[in-house]
Structure formats: C-alpha cells, structure tokens
Amino acid sequence: MRALAADIGERNAFRLPALRRAADFVAGEWTAQGYRVTPQIYDLGGVPMANLEIALRGRVRPHEIVLVGAHYDSVLGSPGADDNASGVAALLEMSRLLADTEPGRTVRLVAFVNEEPPFFATPRMGSEVYARAARARGDDIRLMVSLETIGYYSEAPGSQRYPPPFGLIYPDRGNFLAMVSNLKSRRVLHRMVEAFQAHSDFPVEWLTSPSLLPGVGWSDQRSFWRRGYPALMVTDTAFYRYPYYHSPQDTEEKLDYEALARVTQGLARAIGVLAET
C-alpha cells in the first residue's frame, strides 16, 4: 500500500513514469515470490501498456481457469490508496498465500492497467484487451473475481449508503465486504460467498443485480461479462461508503489494515476452494 499510494502515488497513462514504476513493483513482487510474470503488451497511441499475469497450473483440469484480477492504475488526481492499491495489495498477498498450493483448476492472477477514465468501458481498457484476447483463444474461464476498493470499513451508524431501495434491506454500517454480480453470474457469486463464509468470519453481503445499477459494473468484471464469462466484483462499495473516493485524499492512512488482512485471507481460501470444485 505504501509503495503504490505513497511512494509512487498517482499512476496512470498521463503519469507514465509512475504507471511504469507501479507495473515494475507488481512484477518485482511476483518474481520474488517465485512466479514467472507474463506481460500482455498492447499499444495505446504509440505507448506500450501492460497487463501482468501469473498462473498456478491446475493439476486435474488445467484448461479450466479461475481468474483473480485488480487494476493497478489510479484515477487522475488521486494517489489511489483504496482505489485500487488495496485490491493490488490483496492480489499480491493472495499470490503469496497460494504459492505452495496445487489447485485442481488453473488459477490466474492478473494486474490490469487502464481501468480508470478515460479508458473505462472502452476497447483500450486493460481488462477489455485481456478478456477479448481470452475469448479469441477460447480460454475456459469458469470464474473471474475483480478486487476493487476493499480497504475501508467503518462501524459508525449511517456510514453505509445505497441507491434506493437497498437501504431498507442492507446494514447501515460500512463494516462488511460486498460481493456483487450481474444476473448471469449469480451461481458463481453464491458459490464464492459460501466459500468465503466457510473460511472467514468477516461480515459479507452480496447482491445480484442488472449491471445498469450504478456501481455494479464499474470495474474490470464488466469486461468479462461482455465476453460471456461469469464474473463478480469484491468491494467495500467504494463511493457508497468511502468519502475520499476518486479524490486527492484517497491516501493509505485512511484504510483499515487489520480488516484488509482478514478479507484477503478469506478470499485466498475461497479461491482455493473454487479452484478445486
């Protein structure tokens, strides 16, 4: 978190040296963990951009893939601690926790570039490039999990907001992890929730919704939905909870690291389960 949000800070296509430092940092961490990092390079107006991938090959069904991803860029004007150094930190810790496992299915972990505007929902978005290439190859992705803003939690009453009428159903305290999918991905969402609850006591809420609901499709899972893959987002609900979302105040001291550690451990165990079943 400190390396990305404080030492490097704002990192995007308009701050290329910082974006490249972030990519080098992620690749360096994975190399130190013993992985072989595979970059997916694509051209953005004459500038090379890179998604970064590592994989644990499945021992039983290697053609079946469980993919976990997080974007390493930040929005213009923000150091991007919660959005999305928190997701990248979890991705790096999950790879460390999974390093000595032998999953039944192949597990891929991917750091995506260019998730933020002006690239979001365009063909130049890093996860769009990745998902498009995966579909063209015929990759059998059984589940994609997008780690998106997962570091901010609050026990204060009224700290959690929702679009109407969800405030009548869900808690008013922002002390839980949320898992969200579109309607077609509801089965994998339920399996992910069950696996997480079996291996973590951290509070979790979930929602299956049309992707038109504000926030539901606002991350890399959208790219996989568009290619027909089942996918879900794991989040602290971002702007529905976090007052510093997409601002210069999205800094690393705002986040809850004990909660982030518990969430990450639960997610790693859940992915281990889903890579077997």
CA distance 49 to 13: 9
Is domain 2-274 in CATH 3.20.20.140, yes or no?
no
pLDDT tens across the length of the chain (277 residues): 999 999 999 999 999 999 999 999 999 999 999 999 999 999 999 999 999 999 999 999 999 999 999 999 999 999 999 999 999 999 999 999 999 999 999 999 999 999 999 999 999 999 999 999 999 999 999 999 999 999 999 999 999 999 988 989 999 999 999 999 999 999 999 999 999 999 999 999 999 998 878 889 999 999 999 999 999 999 999 999 999 999 999 999 999 999 999 999 999 999 999 999 8
Question: Are the CB atoms for 29 and 3 separated by under 8 Å?
Answer: no
Residue 208 pairs in a beta bridge with: 181
263 token code pair: 């969430």
Bridge partner list, 48 = 43
Give the pLDDT of residue 277. Answer: 80
Predicted local distance difference test score (pLDDT) of residue 215: 86
Q: Where are the domains of the chain?
A: 2-274
**CA–CA distance, 56 with 61 (Å, rounded to integer):** 12
pLDDT at 66: 98
pLDDT of residue 3: 97
Q: How many CB atoms lie within 10 A of CB 197?
A: 15
- Cα distances from 57 to residues 63, 105, 135, 184, in angstroms, run 9, 7, 19, 27
pLDDT at 212: 78
Of residues 39, 51, 61, the one with CA closest to residue 106: 61
Q: How many CB atoms lie within 10 A of CB 34?
A: 11
